[in-house]
């Protein structure tokens, strides 16, 4: 229902704002980035473990039980994030976490002026490459560029850069796949 969607959107923004403010005030950008990473891991976990989502929205458990359960599961995350996840479970809204993450990313850029670029490579970046990528992102996207590096052994080579909804895929896998398709079509 439209009314529910508006309410959920407002609720999502409240969660994202509250978390960002809390993290930024206590630990600065580093805490924000760390919580962002943890939130991504929680989203991925929930996708592969639907039982937790089902329990968190079940009426067989009291809101307090759901809060305690989820906080217990994610006790190793930052306290602000764990607290927010508990509250979401208590209110039966843990399924909104992916949208909270999107809103959180948007707030990082709009409120903190930080452009987060997720970089995936086969080998670790050196300082020269980091600087190069930051400059490219700054020139094209602006803001204070923060790189989040990830090593993927399955990659043949190259690099994948994601900045929010914007993406540059310069991986060897993609290039070879494109070459394979081109060769087959020729």
Partner 1 sequence: MTVIQKTKMFGSGIAAAFACQQFVPAVALAEEEAEGGISLILPNMVEFIPMLVAFIILWAILAKFGWPVFDKMLQKRSDTIQENLQKAEDARIEGERILAEYKQELDAAKQQAAQIVADAKKTGEAAKAGITEAAQKEAADMIEKARAAIESEKKAAAADLQHSVADTSVALASKLFGEGLSVEEHRALIERYVNEAGSFNAG
- Which one of the spans 26-34, 39-47, 88-96, 134-142 is the region binding partner 1 (CB under 8 A)? 134-142
Residue 67 CB coordination number (10 Å)? 20
Cβ closest to partner 1, residue 26 vs residue 135: 135
Tokens matching residue 43: 């989203």
Q: Does 151 bind partner 1 (CB under 8 A)?
A: no
Give CA–CA dist 65/153, Å, rounded.
41
Give CA–CA dist 160/179, Å, rounded.
18
How long is the chain?
186
Partners of 147 in the β-ladder: 117
Among 7, 44, 151, 179, binds partner 1 (CB under 8 A): 179
Residue 43 CB coordination number (10 Å)? 15
Residues in binding contact with partner 1, number by CB under 8 A? 33
Residue 183 CB coordination number (10 Å)? 8
Give CA–CA dist 148/150, Å, rounded.
7
Tokens matching residue 54: 């089902």
- Which one of the spans 5-13, 19-27, 60-68, 151-159 is the region binding partner 1 (CB under 8 A)? 151-159
Question: Cβ of residue 151: shortest distance to partner 1, in angstroms?
Answer: 11
Q: Does 9 bind partner 1 (CB under 8 A)?
A: no
Among 136, 143, 144, 149, binds partner 1 (CB under 8 A): 136
- Which one of the spans 40-48, 53-61, 81-89, 168-176 is the region binding partner 1 (CB under 8 A)? 168-176
Q: Does 143 bind partner 1 (CB under 8 A)?
A: no
Q: Does 152 bind partner 1 (CB under 8 A)?
A: no
Q: What's the order of all strands across the beta sheet hosting 166-171?
A: 144-151, 114-121, 158-163, 166-171
Q: Does 76 bind partner 1 (CB under 8 A)?
A: no
Q: Residue numbers of the site for partner 1 (CB under 8 A)?
A: 121-126, 128-129, 132-133, 136-137, 140-141, 156-159, 161, 163, 166-168, 170, 172-173, 176-177, 179-180, 183-184, 186
């Amino acid at each position: 229902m439209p009314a529910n969607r508006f309410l959920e959107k407002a609720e999502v923004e409240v969660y994202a704002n509250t978390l960002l403010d809390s993290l930024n005030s206590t630990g600065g950008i580093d805490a924000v980035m760390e919580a962002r990473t943890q939130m991504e891991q929680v989203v991925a976990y929930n996708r592969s473990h639907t039982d937790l989502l089902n329990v968190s929205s079940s009426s067989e458990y009291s809101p307090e039980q759901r809060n305690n359960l989820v906080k217990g599961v994610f006790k190793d995350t930052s306290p602000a994030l764990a607290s927010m996840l508990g509250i979401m479970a208590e209110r039966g809204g843990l399924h909104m976490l992916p949208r909270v993450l999107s809103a959180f990313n948007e707030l990082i850029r709009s409120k903190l002026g930080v452009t987060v670029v997720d970089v995936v490579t086969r080998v670790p970046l050196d300082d020269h490459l980091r600087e190069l990528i930051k400059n490219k992102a700054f020139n094209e996207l602006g803001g204070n560029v923060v790189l989040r590096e990830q090593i993927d052994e399955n990659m043949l080579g190259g690099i994948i850069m994601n900045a929010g909804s914007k993406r540059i895929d310069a991986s060897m896998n993609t290039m070879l796949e494109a070459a394979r398709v081109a060769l087959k079509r020729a």
